[in-house]
Structure 1
Amino acid sequence: MTAATVPAGSGRRPANDAAAPDTRQPVDVERLAIWAIRDQKADRTGGALFDLEAALDHPDREPRDSSRDGVATLMRRRETGGCRIDGGGPMRGVQPRVHPDAEAVVDAIRAIPDWRQRGLVFEYAQLGDRPDWSNGDQTLVPVPVPESRRGAVRHVVRAEWVDLPLQSVLLADLRRRGVPILDRYGRLRFPSQEPGFAYRITDDGGRQVAVRWCPLEPSPSDAWIANMNAIYAAWHAGMMALERALRRVVLRDHRLVGFGVPAEPWG
């Protein structure tokens, strides 16, 4: 093997071939994570490279476990004196040989220090999506009643007694504004009570009417908006940590082009 010769599938380019074009597929870190987790299912196989395979594909990575192909099985059987070890076989829907770039992505995700960021990167890569966020827009909606409370009315209704001005004061104001208070038969045009309302007389001779009203609240709540944006921020920070880690890894068939998703789209 000459100095310019590199083992097949190593992902490294010859030192004296720096001018050769990079034919690897350009991909951003979000698309690469989705491909590795959702499509390749590299986090679910438990079938990493055999020692020799890992040395060929990624010389700078520590080998773990065994691959699921026949060559690795034979090599492991020779190490155990010819004993056959039942590995259980491949999982349904999981490829028997995971792409080495996908394994490198999973290793980089598992190395993210923050457990919440790490979990969110795994979760949304599996979904092939990114977290929702809120720009803070709210509307006023009726305050709902607890789910355990029965009844057709599903929002809170409150009532209270409100003082009414004396009828003489009201009539004097109408007369001052030139509004007639008697009809053509000489009857008072404004009854002292209206149907559908409850009235009562207080101890000092005043009148009160029962007023029913529905309290309102902003929806979504401030806490919900803050929590949703915090989840998005943690996911974005995890993706940035993944992008920095993969910058230090030489991928075989993919070329990382960055991560252009905004950190605070609500801003």
Structure 2
Amino acid sequence: MVKTAVDIEDLVIWTYQAQRADVIEGWSDSREGDWLAGGNRTIEAVLIERGAIGCEIDTSPVPASSRLHPDAEAIHEAVTGLGSRIEIGLLIQHGRAGTRPDWLPAARTRIVPAEMRWSRRHREYRPRIEYDRNRNPVCCPVRIVDHPQKIEAARTVYAIWREALADLAEVFRLHPARLRDHAVAGPRAPARPWEAASAPAGRDAMPRRAYGG
């Protein structure tokens, strides 16, 4: 039997978006609660607190007639067998949504005034300046836009997601018989897109059409 070669990312999207494998297989919200709880202050807990990741599991009833494709079942089994709970959450979350983690390609760390005020004299908005009792300028309160830690956190999440895809693809390259109709390719997603000179300026987390095989 000739198998269809499909990128692992598209297979994951198909598994969770079209097949809804996590729902049919009963991937319960209690399990999700375990890894979202975080426990100790690990990098997982920090990233979750920052809102960098999240995975709300849909536990709505599934019709009794629902049947899971054997390849989707195999993909889901391999995903939930990954060693890292954060990898499992990222693959399921972005598989459902058909997205990639946003690595903030347009982010640029800069310092800007904390507040702008309208100047009647100059008829324009100007930074708020603080003065001493003699009306001498003392300072201009500022804030940091796109803090380096924010950018690093976003790119760490993307790197974890991409590595999880690569690990998943390797499972099926080593054991191709686990899939009946598909052969795994990829992942085509770049490993560190921010290092590429031609990295796009737009956001990379827009929904994409799921594989519908």
TM-score calculated relative to the size of structure 2: 0.61
Give 1:124 shift: 0.6
Kindly indicate whether residue 23 of structure 2 is the aligned counterpart of residue 26 of structure 1. Answer: no
Unaligned runs of 5+ in 1: 1-12, 14-21, 48-89, 145-155, 162-197, 201-208
- Which residue of 205, 210, 232 corresponds with 2:158? 232
Q: Percent identity?
A: 31
The corresponding residue for 2:19 is: 40
Unaligned runs of 5+ in 2: 27-60, 116-126, 196-213
Displacement over 4 Å in runs of 4+: none
Where in structure 2 are the equivalents of 1:87-166 lying within 5 Å? 91=62, 96-135=66-105, 136-143=107-114, 157=128, 159-161=130-132
Q: Which amino acid aligns with 2:184?
A: L
Structure with max Cα Rg = 1
Q: Is the CA contact (8 Å cut-off) linking 1:157 and 1:212 kept in structure 2?
A: no
Aligned length: 149
Q: Is the CA contact (8 Å cut-off) linking 1:25 and 1:253 kept in structure 2?
A: yes
Deviations 1:183-217 (A, max 9, x none): xxxxxxxxxxxxxxx7x4xxxxxxxx432653223
Kindly indicate whether residue 148 of structure 2 is the aligned counterpart of residue 222 of structure 1. Answer: yes
Relative contact order, CA 8 A, sep 6+: which one is greater?
Answer: 2
Kindly indicate whether residue 190 of structure 2 is the aligned counterpart of residue 262 of structure 1. Answer: yes
| C-alpha RMSD of matched pairs (Å) | 2.7
Give 1:46 shift: 2.9
Give 1:26 shift: 1.9
Partner secondary structure for residue 183 of structure 2: strand
Q: Is the CA contact (8 Å cut-off) linking 1:131 and 1:235 kept in structure 2?
A: yes
Q: Which has the higher helix share?
A: 2
TM-score calculated relative to the size of structure 1: 0.50
